[in-house]
């Protein structure tokens, strides 16, 4: 039996409010005169498909994009017949947000499949309507009768490996969709704004890779239009659109949404590809485009662009999404002896939030979704003195914590008593499983934990990276290519899958390639308390 939803609201994505616009069944106006059938050119189009995001037990974001000024109309029900559907007349999509818009559905039933259909309507003539896009998602359960399954990966369309229709497009999305996860965590590098995509590129062994190319992806992104074009490019892929209409997503960002390895110390003076050298201005444009295209719930506090957040998935799981980019100090040799603004990585506000939320969580499993790994060495060239600079947390010194490691040591000490914390991440373009053991560490005041790495997604495959031993990590598994920057042809494209069993509450983690083949599996038993 269909359920009628009583509460509804929408988030304005830069457009005008349109709640007073009357849609009589989304049809035309009544009257004796025969209706004039609008031409295809008059109808709004939906060039980027439909996305769902930040789904919890009673809510979800519905995202789409028009190609002109148009009012977003969302209908949803618990059956695909839409016999008792609720309707939201949402915001008007305008060029202020590249015609993206979103609606925040609330008051949804927990543990339920929700069917959605979206269209856009001309603001001046309700008989002029777009096609209708259909999709569905599942809300999180409030009991432990159902398993929880989710995927994660990152690093999308980098190193010039774009949409190759001869290869089958972004095949990794179809491999994930077939496994029907409850949601997907995109671990960052949703685009490679600093990596031009050309029509043809030579892959390993001389194979030729062909790309769909648009004007905006043919050079490094500098203007807001180019950053938006990078985001919309990924949505040209049929596999992505099919996946996004079925699997809700949780997005976070990292560096390539703006430019490679950017921080307060980034200097583009020597990069001839950029006419705009102001990294802060590029960051503002790249982050704006990300927030317009990400199917995420905006915050209403003063920091409206905040990306770090907790998303509850019922009694078995809480997801803690981190932002390791916005609050960091400059990339440096990373060997400072005491904490300061220069050693910040998460920043004090985010770190305090994470500690408090982890302590407050009553879910069996607490998954920290990080956009960068804890112990892998990720370099960023040399400083003026010839010292290695570091992009992530690790600094290549296996001794006591220093630099950004000081903040992580403070975090790990603070959450030592929190049970069943697991880290998932991407960034390094290969897959791995790491176990962090205080018995093997220089800093020992923490509880052991696992970190699982997945990626890339239709980008160059690299690795493996070296581990920094400060926090006692060991490589339990890793799979990386012999040839660096291997194309998707090589098959080194990975996503991770987490399955939590409702009976035993055990968590099984698998690392799976773009063909759906599992390369590693680990089952973790929950600790009591």
Please give the Cα distance from 133 to 129 (Å, whole number): 12
Write down the pTM of the prediction.
0.94
- Write out the two tokens for 235: 């949505």
Q: What is the DSSP string of 224-285?
A: HHHHHHHHHHHTT-HHHHHHHTTS-EEE---STTTSTT-STT---TT-TT-S---HHHHHHH
Coil vs helix vs strand at 234: helix
pLDDT value for 127: 95
CA 62, 68, 69, 73 dihedral sign is: negative
* Residue whose tokens read 């039933």: 109
| Average pLDDT over every residue of 146-156 | 97
Q: What is the mean pLDDT of residues 1-9?
A: 42
pLDDT of amino acid 303: 76
DSSP notation for 60-118: EEEEEE-SSSEEEEEEEESSTT-TT-EEEEEEEE-GGGTTEEEEEE-SPPTT-EEEEEE
Helix ranges (H only) for 301-459 are 348-360, 405-414
pLDDT of residue 389: 96
Residue 397: the pLDDT is 96
Return the pLDDT at 17: 32
- Tens-digit pLDDT profile for residues 382-411: 998 999 999 999 999 999 999 999 999 999
For 74-86, b where at least 16 C-beta lie within 10 A, e where not — what string?
bbbbbeeebeebb
How far separated are the first and last CA of the chain, in Å rounded? 39
Mean pLDDT estimate for the chain: 93
Kindly compute the dihedral angle of the four CA atoms of residues 68, 69, 71, 76, in this order, to the nearest 10 degrees.
20
What backbone phi and psi angles, to 5 degrees, belong to 408? -70, -35
Of all helices (H) and strands (E), which one includes residue 132? none
Residue 34 pLDDT level (bands cut at 50, 70, 90): low
CA-closest candidate to residue 379, choices 390, 394, 395, 393: 390
DSSP 38: P
Q: What is the pLDDT of residue 22?
A: 42
Instruction: Please enumerate in sequence order all residues whose Cβ is within 8 A of that of 478, keeping only pairs 6 or more positions apart, or say none.
Output: 430, 431, 432, 433, 453, 463, 464
| Res. 11 pLDDT band, cuts 50 70 90 | very low
Q: What is the DSSP letter of 34?
A: P
CA 78 from chain center: how many Å? 26
Q: What is the pLDDT of residue 27?
A: 40
Min mean pLDDT across 26-40, 146-160, 194-208, 430-444 is at 26-40
CB 377 within 8 A of CB 390: yes
The CB density around residue 231, as the number of other CB atoms within 10 Å, is: 25
Determine which of 141-145, 152-156, 331-335 has the lowest per-residue pLDDT on average: 141-145
Domains of the chain (ranges; CATH) run: 8-137 (2.60.40.380), 157-524 (3.60.21.70)
pLDDT band, residue 204 (cuts 50/70/90): very high
Quick one: pLDDT at residue 234? 98
Burial of 127 (0-12, 13-18, 19+ CB in 10 A): middle
Name the residue with tokens 């790491």. 434
Higher local confidence (pLDDT), 28 or 300: 300
Residue whose entry in the numeric block shows the structure tokens 């485009």: 289
Q: CA 262, CA 280: separation in Å to the nearest integer?
A: 9
pLDDT tens per residue, range 412-422: 999 999 999 99
The C-alpha R_g of the chain, in whole angstroms, comes to: 23
Tell which residue, 392, 423, 415, 416, has the closest CA to residue 405: 392
Phi, psi (degrees; rounded to nearest 5) at 360: -80, -20
Residue 78 CA to residue 89 CA, distance in Å, equals: 19
Report pLDDT digits (tens) over 106-116.
999 999 999 99
151 burial via Cβ count (<10 Å: 0-12, 13-18, 19+) = buried
Helix (H, G, I), strand (E, B) or coil at 178: helix
Using DSSP, how many helices (H) and how many strands (E) does the chain show?
6, 25
């Amino acid at each position: 039996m269909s359920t009628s939803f009583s509460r509804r609201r929408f988030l304005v994505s830069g457009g005008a409010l349109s709640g007073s616009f009357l849609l009589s069944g989304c049809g035309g106006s009544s009257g004796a005169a025969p209706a004039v059938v609008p031409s295809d050119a008059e109808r709004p189009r939906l060039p980027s498909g439909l996305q769902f995001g930040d789904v919890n037990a009673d809510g979800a974001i519905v995202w789409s994009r028009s190609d002109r000024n148009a009012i977003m109309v969302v209908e949803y029900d618990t059956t695909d017949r839409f016999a008792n559907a609720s309707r939201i007349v949402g915001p008007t999509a305008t060029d202020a947000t590249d015609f993206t818009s979103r609606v925040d559905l609330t008051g949804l039933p927990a543990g339920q499949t929700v069917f959605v259909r979206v269209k856009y309507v001309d603001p001046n003539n309700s008989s002029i309507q777009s096609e209708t896009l259909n999709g569905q998602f599942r809300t999180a359960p409030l009991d432990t009768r159902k398993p929880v399954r989710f995927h994660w990966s990152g690093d999308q369309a980098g190193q010039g490996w774009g949409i190759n229709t001869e290869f089958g497009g972004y095949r990794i999305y179809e491999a994930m969709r077939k496994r029907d996860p409850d949601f997907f965590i995109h671990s960052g590098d949703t685009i490679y704004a600093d990596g031009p995509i050309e029509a043809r590129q030579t892959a390993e062994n001389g194979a030729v890779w062909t790309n769909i190319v648009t004007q905006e992806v043919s050079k490094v992104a500098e203007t807001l239009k180019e950053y938006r074009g990078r985001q919309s490019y990924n949505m040209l892929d049929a596999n992505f659109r099919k996946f996004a209409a079925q699997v809700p997503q949780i997005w976070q960002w990292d560096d390539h949404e703006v430019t490679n390895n950017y921080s307060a110390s980034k200097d583009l003076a020597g990069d001839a590809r950029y006419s705009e050298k102001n990294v802060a201005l590029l960051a503002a444009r790249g982050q704006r485009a990300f927030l317009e295209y990400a199917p995420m719930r905006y915050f209403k506090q003063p920091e409206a662009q905040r990306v770090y957040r907790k998303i509850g998935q019922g009694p078995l799981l809480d997801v803690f999404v981190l932002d390791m980019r916005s609050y960091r100090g400059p990339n440096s040799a990373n060997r400072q002896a005491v904490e300061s603004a220069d050693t910040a990585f998460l920043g004090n506000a985010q770190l305090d939030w994470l500690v408090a939320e982890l302590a407050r969580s009553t879910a069996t499993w607490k998954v920290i979704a990080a956009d960068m790994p804890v112990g892998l060495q990720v370099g960023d060239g040399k400083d003026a003195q010839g010292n290695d600079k570091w992009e992530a947390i690790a600094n290549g010194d296996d001794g006591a914590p220093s630099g950004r490691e000081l903040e992580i040591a403070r975090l790990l000490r603070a959450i030592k008593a929190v049970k069943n914390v697991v880290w998932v991440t991407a960034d390094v373009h290969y897959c791995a499983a790491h176990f962090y053991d205080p018995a093997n560490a220089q800093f020992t005041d923490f509880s052991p934990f696992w970190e699982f790495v997945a990626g890339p997604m239709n980008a160059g495959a690299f690795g493996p990276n070296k581990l920094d031993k400060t926090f006692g990590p060991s490589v339990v598994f890793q799979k990386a290519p012999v040839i660096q920057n291997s194309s998707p042809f090589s098959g080194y494209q990975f996503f991770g899958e987490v399955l939590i069993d409702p009976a035993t509450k055990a968590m099984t983690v698998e690392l799976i390639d773009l063909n759906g083949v599992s390369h590693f599996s680990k089952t973790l038993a929950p600790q009591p308390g």
